[in-house]
């Protein structure tokens, strides 16, 4: 089901973590792979998010891939999915201290 179809059903969630290797923020993408860009993150219906989160958390911890794994609310603005909270918007953009470095410099 596409993100657009999910948004019609109600609120959506995305799953995020911090990668152990370097501390970068990552998002669970399609097919269970972790991606660095929120634009590539898979979106889940609220009713499905807990089960997906539990499986992703168990696998990431077993493989020592990531920590602080959790789901967060996603809303839609002008037809585009965006994190619902300021905290998650900052995490998707990258660190706020130096805008000339990291993801935000791209």
pLDDT 10s digits, 56-95 = 999 999 999 999 999 999 999 999 999 999 999 989 887 6
Alpha-carbon gap, residue 41 to 46, rounded angstroms:
15
Confidence of residue 10 (pLDDT cuts 50, 70, 90): low
Number of domains within the chain: 1
Give the C-alpha separation, 90 to 51, whole Å. Answer: 26
Instruction: Say what the pTM is.
Output: 0.81
Domain that holds residue 14: 3-105
The candidate with the shortest Cα–Cα distance to 15, out of 7, 33, 98, 1, is: 33
């Amino acid at each position: 089901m596409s993100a657009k179809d999910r948004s019609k059903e109600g609120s959506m969630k995305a799953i995020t973590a911090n990668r152990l290797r370097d501390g970068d923020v990552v998002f669970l993408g399609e097919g269970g792979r972790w991606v660095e860009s929120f634009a590539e993150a898979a979106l889940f219906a609220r009713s499905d998010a807990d089960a997906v989160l539990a499986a992703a958390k168990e696998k990431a911890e077993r493989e020592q891939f990531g920590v602080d794994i959790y789901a967060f609310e996603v809303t839609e603005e002008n037809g585009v999915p965006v994190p619902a909270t300021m905290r998650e918007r900052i995490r998707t953009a990258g660190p706020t201290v130096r805008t000339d470095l990291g993801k935000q410099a791209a």
